[in-house]
């Protein structure tokens, strides 16, 4: 076996593809031939330097940047198969446009405010017209001087479309159910039949036309009523003439401070120990767009749980072996700001049900939140609220992943631990309390 032949045998030996007998024969030949041992050493040296060269080659940062820029411009990914929207894709999309979304929220709020203002100021004459041409006056006239039955009251109330009124001092939202409690001397007809407060506009109309018997004069505490459908204040008794009143722009606002405490999901023993209770605080301004719907803007700060990616050794005892990307749940404090839309429905003279959904931009990405609660009017200007709020925020795993792999310090051959790229949303559930006031 010459050097030429032994060269191939040595390579096969190094590849491990020689049979046992062939290997034994080769080892024997090597033991008696310094030249062949030199060839073997040469191959081993070559193998070592090729291995070192292979490991030394690092993908240039600029090449990776150019590649990802090119790929970023190529979307959708594949058109030949059905594409489902992944969480990570959505996260990346949302994450990249978080400030755009907050800008949209602000613009929406401004549009809402301005449209409400324009609608308000533009409809004054129409409201006055509607009041002076009250369609329910004939109905009452038919009954004045006769007994006004409950059914007649209901009919009138239904046609008037008025279900709530507010005292002049803003202290009471008066409903049909609460009239007995709020008016010391409920208006009644000559035969003693009580009238619903829903008939107050009708009384006002009668008063304007001097058709209301003195016995049925309205209590002094009720100097105006508000029609929730038109936001129109009606003063039933000012100099005996019904007048309309358009509330000021600021009267449509309320302001609130909220404080929430609750729990974050998902959580771990570590997160539960480090922060068993999370908090969420904000200040908020809301504007009444329609009788039931309000829009608002909030600014606050909250604790959230985030999934954080980092690199670590696969085996801490053998760090030379391999790095891998790992993840951990950690607490983060975020500052957020955004918009919301709220639905309110009075459920008694002092309680109002409220439900809202909001979208906010935060330092950790977009937050979607929702709240169900009850508002209680302590006085005409101040109230408190209690609710249950849920907030959802993503960890932006895809972006973190991209950041790690495109960082200049990233080590070639780094693996990925199982589950690292899962991007489940983090949820905060909290009891929300607050205080609000309005003009």
- Which residues of this chain interact with another protein, rule CB under 8 A? 7-8, 11, 13-17, 23, 27, 39, 42-47, 49-60, 62-64, 66-67, 70-71, 74, 76-78, 80-86, 88-89, 92, 397-398, 401-402, 405, 412-414, 416, 421
Task: Return the number of the residue (225 or 420) whose C-beta is nearest another protein.
Answer: 420
Smallest distance from the beta carbon of 96 to another protein, in angstroms?
A: 13
CA within 13 Å, CB half, 121: 7
Task: Provide the pairing of β-strand 253-265 with 241-245.
Answer: unpaired
Smallest distance from the beta carbon of 379 to another protein, in angstroms?
A: 55
The residue written with tokens 């036309």 in the block is 209
Smallest distance from the beta carbon of 316 to another protein, in angstroms?
A: 22
User: Which residue in 35, 49, 31, 28 sits closest to 7, CA to CA?
Assistant: 35
C-alpha 123/C-alpha 135 separation (Å) is 19
Note whether 223 and 168 are within 8 A (CB): yes
Q: What is the dihedral of CA 75, 77, 79, 84, to 10 degrees?
A: -110
Smallest distance from the beta carbon of 54 to another protein, in angstroms?
A: 5
Task: Return the number of the residue (63 or 269) whose C-beta is nearest another protein.
Answer: 63
Task: Return the number of the residue (22 or 147) whose C-beta is nearest another protein.
Answer: 22
Smallest distance from the beta carbon of 414 to another protein, in angstroms?
A: 7
Q: What is the DSSP string of 49-73?
A: HHHHHHHH----HHHHHHHHHHHHT
**Under DSSP, is residue 146 helix (H, G, I), strand (E, B) or coil?**
coil
Task: Return the number of the residue (241 or 417) whose C-beta is nearest another protein.
Answer: 417
The token pair that represents 122 in the structure block: 């533009």
Task: Return the number of the residue (77 or 277) whose C-beta is nearest another protein.
Answer: 77
Task: Return the number of the residue (223 or 402) whose C-beta is nearest another protein.
Answer: 402
Distances from the Cα of 155 to the Cα of 144, 182, 232, angstroms: 15, 22, 22
Smallest distance from the beta carbon of 307 to another protein, in angstroms?
A: 13
């Amino acid at each position: 076996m010459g050097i030429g032949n032994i060269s191939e045998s040595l390579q096969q030996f190094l590849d491990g593809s020689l049979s046992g007998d062939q290997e034994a024969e080769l080892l024997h030949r090597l033991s008696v031939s310094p030249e062949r041992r030199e060839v073997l050493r040469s191959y081993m040296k070559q193998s070592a330097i090729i291995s070192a060269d292979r490991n030394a080659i690092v993908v240039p940062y600029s090449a990776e940047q150019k590649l990802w820029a090119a790929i970023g411009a190529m979307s959708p990914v594949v058109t030949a198969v059905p594409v489902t929207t992944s969480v990570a894709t959505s996260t990346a999309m949302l994450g990249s446009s978080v400030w755009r979304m907050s800008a949209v929220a602000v613009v929406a709020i401004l549009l809402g405010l301005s449209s409400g203002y324009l609608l308000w100021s533009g409809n004054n004459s129409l409201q006055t017209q509607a009041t002076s041409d009250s369609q329910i006056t004939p109905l009452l006239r038919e009954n004045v001087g006769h007994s006004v039955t409950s059914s007649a009251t209901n009919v009138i109330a239904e046609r008037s479309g008025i279900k709530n009124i507010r005292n002049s001092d803003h202290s009471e939202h008066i409903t049909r159910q609460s009239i007995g409690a709020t008016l010391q001397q409920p208006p009644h007809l000559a035969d003693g039949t009580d009238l619903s407060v829903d008939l107050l506009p009708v009384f006002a109309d009668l008063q304007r036309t001097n058709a209301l018997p003195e016995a049925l004069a309205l209590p002094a505490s009720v100097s105006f009523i508000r029609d929730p459908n038109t936001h129109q204040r009606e003063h039933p008794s000012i100099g005996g003439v019904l007048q309309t009143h358009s509330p000021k722009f600021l009267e449509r606002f309320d302001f609130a401070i909220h404080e929430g405490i609750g729990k974050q999901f998902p959580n771990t023993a570590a997160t539960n120990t480090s922060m068993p209770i999370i908090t969420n605080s904000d200040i908020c301004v809301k504007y009444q767009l329609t009788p039931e719907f309000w829009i608002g803007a909030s600014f606050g700060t909250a604790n959230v749980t985030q999934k954080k990616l980092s690199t670590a050794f696969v085996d801490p005892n053998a760090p030379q072996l391999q790095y891998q990307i790992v993840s951990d749940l950690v607490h983060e404090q975020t500052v957020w700001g955004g918009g919301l839309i709220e639905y309110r429905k009075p459920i008694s003279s002092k309680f109002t049900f409220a439900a809202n959904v909001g979208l906010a931009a935060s330092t950790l990405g977009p937050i979607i939140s929702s709240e169900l609660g009850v508002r209680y009017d302590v006085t005409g200007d101040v109230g408190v609220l209690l609710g249950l709020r849920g907030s959802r925020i993503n960890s932006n795993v895809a972006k973190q992943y991209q950041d790690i792999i495109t960082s200049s310090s990233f080590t070639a051959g780094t693996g990925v631990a199982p589950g690292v790229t899962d991007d489940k949303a983090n949820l905060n559930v909290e009891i929300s309390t607050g205080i609000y006031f309005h003009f």
